[in-house]
Structure formats: structure tokens, C-alpha cells
Amino acid sequence: MRVFITGTGVVGCHAARDLLARGDEVVLFDLAPRQEFITRVVGRDVPVVRGDIRELPGLLTAMGDLRPDVVIHTAALVGGQASVLPWRGFEVNVVGTMNVAEAVRALGVRRLVHASTLGVFDRSAPQVAPLRETDQLGGNDRMYGTSKVACEQLLRAYAGTYKFQLAMLRFASVYGYGYAGTGSAPTIAIFDMLRDILAGRPAVLGAGMPDVDELVYIEDLVRGVIAATTQETLPHHTFNLGGGRLTSADDIVEAARLAFPGADVTRPAGDGSGGGRAKIEQPMDIARARAELGYDIRFDLQAGLQDLATRIAQA
């Protein structure tokens, strides 16, 4: 199978690693790829095309050279990055996604797998049960979430009109190797905490970590991405890929203390707002992904922190 992946962040590179291990042909596409990081995660040479998803002609050329069976679209401005310059955030996330969909349509690609987010759910409504794929959407007055709602609506229209297969994967907060200074505030907080622990310094879980969040370790999440990419048929086109439970900042500190006995780990006093994100009161319901993708959670929080610390230490 031939797979074209936009974005060389943590999800794109881990997906490339696992697809290559299956024997699939993979090409990565990114505006500013970090070759050292790509090589470290993927573990072997993989073709990387430097390009901008906002520029349709270049995207068409790169994708057309491969003639992929599946496109995995992960390239985006994440979290607060999408609101620093609002037009740029929407241009990258929404126009870029429309360009990817147009290239999929024009080249007759069989399936598009799109990286969406927990942030698309309307959390202003009472959260009385785990969030299901059919629950109401809303941007929660955040630029990133709103841009991703727009992407999902656009992709549904494209797939419905032009009859390509679509998988939209709603990620919880992903933590894993590769979030050195990039990514969402919670994942940066975890990464920086572990680097301090490994250096023998007092480690403080950063103020960007909200009081409560839903976390998923990259090694669990990527198995869901690969299933959505490679499975012959998909009964639905939307799947929640999360940890299946809520995690508090205190849970992270306690798991770090258990994983690294003797480590000095604390969390700062603060409002736990996570940069003003809408409050999370329920985790995502991952029953559909379990039933239809074989998705499962193998890393609890302590095991995930230990595995990530090992990978940081080896870098």
C-alpha cells in the first residue's frame, strides 16, 4: 500500500514508522521537516517532500508522484498556535485541509484519514456521559477547535459528494516523544517535566497543564491511526481515539513519583485552566474505536511516562 502523510510531527512520524514496518510505501510532506527527529522516530530513511499544504499545485505534484492509496492528514497549527495569527491558523488548518481533500478527489485516492481533536465537541452543554462521536460539535470559542469543526464539515461534504472513504480521528491530548517546544500546552508540560526528572532537577508540571484532561500515549494512539489507514472497510467515518478516562494534574504528579522513585515532582499553584480551554467533565467514549478498529489502551499513565522517559534519555 502507498501512503502519503502530511505533517512530520509526532503522529505523522510514528504512523510512518509503523507503516514502513508493515512493508508499505510512505512519503512524508511538510513545510519545515526536522530530519533528525524524523530519522530518530522512523528508524530508517523515508522520502520527505518539503511543501506547503496551503499551495495546492505543489501538493498535487507531490501526491501525484506517489499516487497513494491512502492519505493521512496530520499537518496543522495546534492549540494556541492557531490563534497567534488567526488568519494564518485558519489558512493552514481549513484551507490546507480543503487542498488535501481536493488533491484526494483529483487523484482518485481511495481513503483520507484526517487528524481531528477532542476540541470539536461542544462542551458548553451539560456533560452527563462520555462524549460520543454523534454528540454536538462546537468550537468552544477557541480558534483551534473551531477550525477543526470547519475541517470536519468540509470533509464530510467532499467525501459525500466525491465518494472517497473518510476516517476522521478525534484525538485526546497526545503525549509522546517529539513535543520539545511544540504541540499543545499539556503535552509540552509532560515532556518538560520528564526532561527535568532525567536531569536530576526538581520537576514542576507546567502551568499549561489543566486540572483535568484526557491523555493518550502516542504508542496507543498510533495503533488506532494505522487501523483506520489499513483496515479494508470502515463502518463509520468518525472515531474517538483517547485514553477513555480523565486524568488530573495530581494524577500525573503521582504517576511520575511512582515511575521515578525519589524524583522531586510538584505542580505550581494556579488556576489549572490549561490556557483557557473549555472545561472537560467527561472523557471520550472509545467503544466504537474498540469495536471497529480493534483500538485498545496498553499504556497506563505510569507506563507511558516510563516509556517516554526512556525515549527521551536515548535521544
Distance CA 308, CA 300 (A): 12
Give me the number of domains the chain comprises. Answer: 2
Q: Is the dihedral angle over the CA atoms 46, 52, 54, 59 positive or is it negative? A: negative
pLDDT more than 90, % of the chain = 79
Average pLDDT over residues 171-185: 77
Task: Find the CATH number of the domain harbouring 26.
Answer: 3.40.50.720
Determine the pLDDT at residue 144: 87
Same domain, 49 and 82: yes
Same domain, 75 and 184: no
C-alpha cell at 57: 499545485
- Highest mean pLDDT among 110-114, 146-150, 207-211 belongs to 110-114
- Nearest by Cα to 173 from 114, 233, 242: 242
Q: How confident is the model at residue 273 (pLDDT cuts 50, 70, 90)?
A: very low
Mean pLDDT rounded to a whole number for the chain: 92
Supply the pTM of this predicted model. Answer: 0.94
Same domain, 101 and 51: yes
Same domain, 234 and 265: no
Same domain, 262 and 200: yes
Task: Find the CATH number of the domain harbouring 184.
Answer: 3.90.25
By the 8 A CB rule, do 273 and 279 touch?
no
Same domain, 155 and 250: no
pLDDT in tens, 14-62: 999 999 999 999 999 999 999 999 999 999 999 999 999 999 999 999 9
Distance CA 190, CA 268 (A): 13
Strands (E) across 61-191 are located at: 70-73, 111-117, 165-171, 173-175
- Nearest by Cα to 166 from 223, 220, 115, 93: 115
By the 8 A CB rule, do 284 and 244 touch?
yes
Task: Give the Å distances, CA to CA, from 153 to 106, 137, 231.
Answer: 19, 10, 23
Which structural domain range is residue 133 located in? 2-173+218-241
289 domain residue, yes or no: no
Determine the pLDDT at residue 186: 75
- Residue 37 phi, psi dihedral angles, 5° rounding: -65, -45
Same domain, 10 and 54: yes
Length of the chain: 315
Same domain, 24 and 112: yes
Strands (E) across the chain are located at: 2-6, 25-30, 48-50, 70-73, 111-117, 165-171, 173-175, 203-204, 212-213, 215-217, 238-241, 247-248, 265-266
Q: Which residue has the higher pLDDT, 208 or 191?
A: 191
- Nearest by Cα to 2 from 71, 82, 85: 71
Same domain, 35 and 141: yes
Same domain, 206 and 122: no
